[in-house]
Amino acid sequence: GEVAKLDGTPDELFYLLPRIGVQHTDDNFRRQLTQLYRLLLPAGGDVLDLCSQHDSHLPPEVTYGSLSVHGMNYLELLSNGRADNRFVRNFNSDPSLSNLADGSMDAVLMAASIQYMQRPVELLRDVRRVLRPGGVVIVSFSNRMFFTKAIEAWRS
């Protein structure tokens, strides 16, 4: 169906090797994303970056209250020098943010990863739960993807 992947091997195996320094989008996309964050993310706010890596693409001159990063490879998350908190979870088997309190985040980001989510509605419900009133969610994507790991709805 719509959430089927060509590569059915466990996502944990696909992300086993860290891709530190590998950029999954082009320079222009990253510049535009950083500018969008500059405009929409509150300075001093608590930010959650889902499906993160070594770089959250946040504006370097802005200070945030905290940055929590989620991903599939802990070594990649460790290389994100701005992160205060890190956690690994396969959202395709457990699309929850159970480790985060209700209303604990001012912003939630997901860059270039929504195309891999097999249970996006469940995940976004929990994103809503952890957002503070007036919080912002930014889901971005480009024309690049790991084609065999993207769900059918994105590939077709």
What is d(CA 123, CA 32) in angstroms, rounded to the nearest whole number? 25
Contacts of 129 (CB under 8 A, 6+ apart): 97, 102, 103
What is d(CA 72, CA 88) in angstroms, rounded to the nearest whole number? 5
Residue 7 pLDDT exceeds 90: no
**Phi, psi (degrees; rounded to nearest 5) at 110:** -145, 105
What stretch of H or E contains 29? helix 27-40
pLDDT the model gives residue 12: 84
Among 4-8, 34-38, 106-110, 128-132, where is mean pLDDT lowest?
4-8
Residue 21 pLDDT exceeds 70: no
pLDDT the model gives residue 125: 97
Summarised one tens digit per residue, pLDDT across range 40-80 is: 999 999 999 999 988 999 999 999 999 999 999 999 999 99
pLDDT the model gives residue 122: 97
Summarised one tens digit per residue, pLDDT across range 98-113 is: 999 999 999 999 998 8
pLDDT the model gives residue 19: 67
